[in-house]
Amino acid sequence: MPLQLWTLTIVIATAAVTIVAFKRYGLFVQLMLDATATVERGEWWRVVTSALVHGDYMHLAINMWVLYNLGSLLELLLGGPATATVYAAGVICGSLAGLARNRRTAQYRAVGASGGVSAVLAMSIVLSPTMPMRVMFVPVDIPAWIFGLFYVAYSLYGMKKLNDGIGHDAHLGGLAVGVVAGLVVHARM
């Protein structure tokens, strides 16, 4: 497979910024999505920069692994700029979904690229619904559309029932972007 430079650049930049931010907590705090800073102080850049930092190395590794694999696939199909645009739109919509749901929680904080990764995931599923996918650590392939249904159900359940520190609302915001983008591209094919 040829090297997909747009996706690889996003992965490397995100990993580098996260690693530096782990060592410089002030930078980490400046980049994270913070409801009070974003809405009340107008620091709207956080809607995007929060995707450059992650909660821990496992969070970073999972997001970047999924992004690299599916982003590279989309980049082959659609090109780098289109893939990066879908990713960025997913990041923004994921952050806005988190802010909308938690707008009355002054202490709301979020980090991670889950909105963008979910957009890339959803678009991949729409464009290739029978592609084999696996749930982590389960050695059985399932069709992508079934994986997608489980992911939506898990995100909805997690948003309503779990207090696990995962941005399920960001997942859903990103998924919505990916589904719409996938349907638009599919209609033009």
- By C-alpha distance, which of 170, 112, 119 is closest to 148? 119
Which residues constitute the domain of residue 132?
A: 5-188
Give the integer Cα–Cα distance in Å for 135 and 14. 24
Give the integer Cα–Cα distance in Å for 44 and 59. 23
What mean pLDDT value characterizes the chain?
94
Give the integer Cα–Cα distance in Å for 165 and 57. 15
pLDDT at residue 1 tops 80:
no
CATH number, domain at 142? 1.20.1540.10
Q: What total of structural domains would you count in the chain?
A: 1
Per-residue model confidence as pLDDT tens digits over 144-165: 999 999 999 999 999 888 778 8
pLDDT at residue 115 tops 80:
yes
More confident residue, 82 or 137: 82
| Degrees, nearest 5: CA angle 29-114-149 | 155
**Residue 130 — very low, low, confident or very high, per pLDDT cuts 50/70/90?**
very high
